[in-house]
Chain A
């Protein structure tokens, strides 16, 4: 097993092991799972980058995210009891933890995708300036990675986010069916989540519609993933659920 794949497995599994053993529920909180999702998608995409400076920057970002997650996990011990699960049945509890963690991790991946789309648009607008403008305005000083590298991260992060949300929504539906039967169909929170997943799917589908139309494609990415992130934030803050437990940003 190479060092890279070992690192990937550690990032993928260790948070779950730590969370399961300690029972703190860090991955059941949106913040903890978003950090994990961002770290995972950066670790997955880093090996594909051929620009050394960008690769180094990704390594730094990855170290920062891992450090932040571990710090958050340690802080979750301070002065609180382990998460008080309302679900007592083991399988249901595991499914709840998994779907919450995977969906929120997908949001972290969309955040990376949104950041990369923004960087692409900025870089492209700098490149679109004429040589004379770049000479006089010193726009070339905008030290963003190569357009191609940013594009690769942008598309890769979206691909993993879509996979994560498809899997997460599937798990969520199984969990909801086991817990509430068909009642979940009338729950607005679950339905909004499905709409958000469709937004993400539409965004992914655009890669085929707008392939080669660089600027249009990335502006659309930026808009749609922005809508997705805002939608997710609203979902976290509105208490419009009939049966779903309240969503939480943080462990406490």
Chain B
């Protein structure tokens, strides 16, 4: 069980795979389930108890992570499931996969550095694979480790600080005028993703009185967020503007949907309504708001020009934390790889214990000393101390020499363990059973008689 068994097949924007290629290789949820179930059967039939895999699909990457499964068979199965040509998929193997998985989970490989969505997507992907029964053993530990490192990066750096979504930046900018949004009201015009994001952000910042309006009201009626808003006819939008502190205009209209003359006319007929400043966020392109409204009767109009500067500034701020995050990843991956290799030596060390114990029991039996509790205790103690010192020294070695030493010792003692019991079978007692090969726990201290 070593990191050599890890592999990752990937199509990502960062590696230069175009959106068409990624779309082709993308698996719909029901296909992921079918593919993973197919693999569960294959894994059950094979003797690879530690083998596992999971699929990660986001808008910027589609990846299949696996452990102990031949890459070519994975590529074939994936290709069969999607019909895509995966010949140009990037293949990462061995310990580099560990590094990649951590960096992807911590959003260091994302198109938008520091975005939080990818960590959630990774969590969902691994939980799904675990539920199907194809994620367990080493790959499961590695995926949990990646999520842990991502969490550490979030808490120790400011990689995720400062939003870089246009709608979020725009809404956050409202706090330049208002000290809190809790007692404010907003009018959202439009039902596209930008309007939706702005609406969600407004609610997150504590604003509860929201009026929503769209040219086709059917789109709003079916929307889950509509239940939390008051729906207003689009034709009344100018009157509604006077009733609210904040207006978000995010429609795909070809020309301005809010005009100064109409606002003036509404004020003349119905009055100004509430006092104080009003902010209009124009998130549309072409612009949704007549620019003459800016400066009229305490109206401040903000548009995408200003937000893009903020986004770039936030990006630069995040970039300055990328180096610190890289250091954390490097440190964590190095430590994990070391402990992983030590754990991987566990079975060999266990076998060594069993061989040494078998030799000890054999010697005691042969000399008819097995019932002498003091000698039994003494021999156990000597063995235990020797093994403890040996394991401690092995832990201090690098993986390759440690394994070499273990393998040499095992080769020698296995022969002794196999040879000794045979030798003990005398002609008088040819059926004498070999000494027990039961493992002796490392921590178990022999009891003094």
Contacts and interface: CB of A to CB of B under 8 A. Distances in A.
Interface string B284-318: 00000001001100101111111111100000000
Chief secondary structure at chain B's binding surface? mixed
Interface in A139-165: 140, 145-149, 152
Interface string A117-132: 0000000000110111
Contacts, number: 62
Contacts of B300: 127-128
A56 to B, nearest CB: 13
Contacts of B180: 50-51
Given A135-B306, A214-B277, A148 B291 contact: no
Contact of A130 (B179, B291, B308): B291
Nearest to A143: B176
B305 A54 contact: no
Given A147-B277, A214-B276, A131 B179 contact: no
Interface in A181-217: 211-215
B298 A214 contact: yes
Range class of the B interface residue count: 20 to 34
A49 interface: yes
A130 B294 contact: yes
A138 B313 CA distance: 11
A39 B382 CA distance: 78
B197 interface: no
B178 interface: yes
Given A127-B300, A131-B302, A51 B179 contact: yes
Contacts of B277: 147-148, 214
Given A212-B275, A214-B298, A131 B176 contact: no
B309 A148 contact: no
B175 interface: yes
A134 B298 contact: no
Given A131-B303, A132-B305, A135-B309, A146 B275 contact: no
A134 B306 contact: yes
A85 to B, nearest CB: 46
Interface in B307-333: 307-310
B275 A147 contact: no
Contacts of A54: 179
Given A135-B309, A140-B306, A140-B310, A212 B176 contact: no
Contacts of B440: none
A105 to B, nearest CB: 26
B272 interface: yes
7 contacts: A127-B177, A131-B303, A131-B306, A146-B177, A148-B178, A148-B277, A212-B276
Interface of B: 175-180, 272, 275-277, 291, 294-295, 298, 300-310
Given A131-B304, A132-B305, A140-B306, 6 more contacts: A131-B301, A131-B303, A135-B306, A135-B309, A146-B175, A215-B298
